């Protein structure tokens, strides 16, 4: 995975070449990513779905994150990014079913790791159940849902914890039910501005 080749850009989103994934994160080169958030309405409540990152992940293991996300390879268009949904979650979604929320500049710096990406963010509003998910074990350990309004309030600083329900997978097929109350530390620490912007976009769409 570290040897995957990505397109790299300048700050104005002009293509300037390619580099391996490892080099991109070592040097902090700007690259493209695909983010897809799932929401579904159940009993008049809008829920947002998140993945539980696998304990095998090098970055942010065992934390809740964007429903499906990944890097765009140098050979891929933004539309090709929809493959991440099928690979990680086992759900077939066409790009035409997704609502584009825009391109968000995303920047995180850690020790020996700099992630500067142009995130192409999409929303999938569908009808599905936990039984519809077939997880890519090395990437995703489980799926949970949270009332969207509560999740939004958490990142606005109006709520300290949220209730989540879902499942994690043990072995090949066994699913273990999850029901927990968690705070911000249970989630990948994306920049606060990212959460605020994306959740505002989603809230505006759900209000229509």
The pLDDT value recorded for residue 171 is: 72
Question: Do the Cβ atoms of 123 and 202 come closer than 8 Å?
Answer: yes
Q: Do 124 and 98 meet the contact criterion of CB atoms below 8 Å apart?
A: yes
Q: Note the pLDDT of residue 111.
A: 82
Predicted confidence at residue 2, as pLDDT, reads 73
Question: What is the CATH number assigned to the segment(s) 5-206?
Answer: 3.90.79.10
Q: In the prediction, which pLDDT does 191 show?
A: 93
pLDDT value at residue 125: 95
- Give the model's pLDDT for residue 130: 94
The pairing of beta strand 140-147 with beta strand 45-53: antiparallel
For the chain, the structural domain boundaries read 5-206
Retrieve residue 66's tokens: 């964007």
Whole-prediction pTM value?
A: 0.94
What's the pLDDT at 41?
Answer: 95
Give residue 77's pLDDT.
96
Q: List pLDDT tens digits, range 140-199.
A: 999 999 999 999 999 999 999 999 999 998 777 678 999 999 999 999 999 999 999 999
Residues (pLDDT < 50) of the chain are none
Tokens describing residue 140: 């995703």
């Amino acid at each position: 995975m570290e040897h995957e080749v990505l397109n790299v850009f300048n700050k104005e989103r002009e293509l300037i070449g390619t580099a391996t994934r490892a080099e991109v994160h070592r040097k902090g080169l700007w690259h493209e990513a695909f983010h897809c958030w799932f929401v579904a309405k159940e009993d008049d409540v809008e829920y947002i779905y998140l993945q539980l990152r696998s304990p095998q992940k090098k970055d942010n293991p065992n934390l809740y994150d964007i429903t499906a996300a990944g890097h765009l390879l140098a050979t891929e268009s933004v539309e090709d990014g929809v493959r991440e949904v099928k690979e990680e979650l086992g759900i077939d979604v066409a790009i035409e079913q997704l609502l584009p929320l825009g391109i968000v500049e995303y920047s995180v710096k850690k020790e020996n790791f700099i992630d500067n990406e142009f995130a192409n963010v999409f929303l999938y509003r569908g009808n599905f159940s936990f039984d519809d998910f077939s997880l890519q074990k090395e990437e995703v350990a489980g799926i949970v849902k949270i009332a969207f309004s509560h999740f939004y309030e958490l990142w606005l600083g109006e709520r300290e914890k949220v209730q989540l329900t879902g499942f994690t997978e043990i072995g090949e097929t066994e699913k273990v039910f999850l029901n927990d109350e968690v705070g911000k530390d249970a989630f990948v620490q994306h920049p606060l501005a990212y959460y605020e912007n994306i959740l505002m976009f989603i809230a505006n769409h759900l209000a229509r």
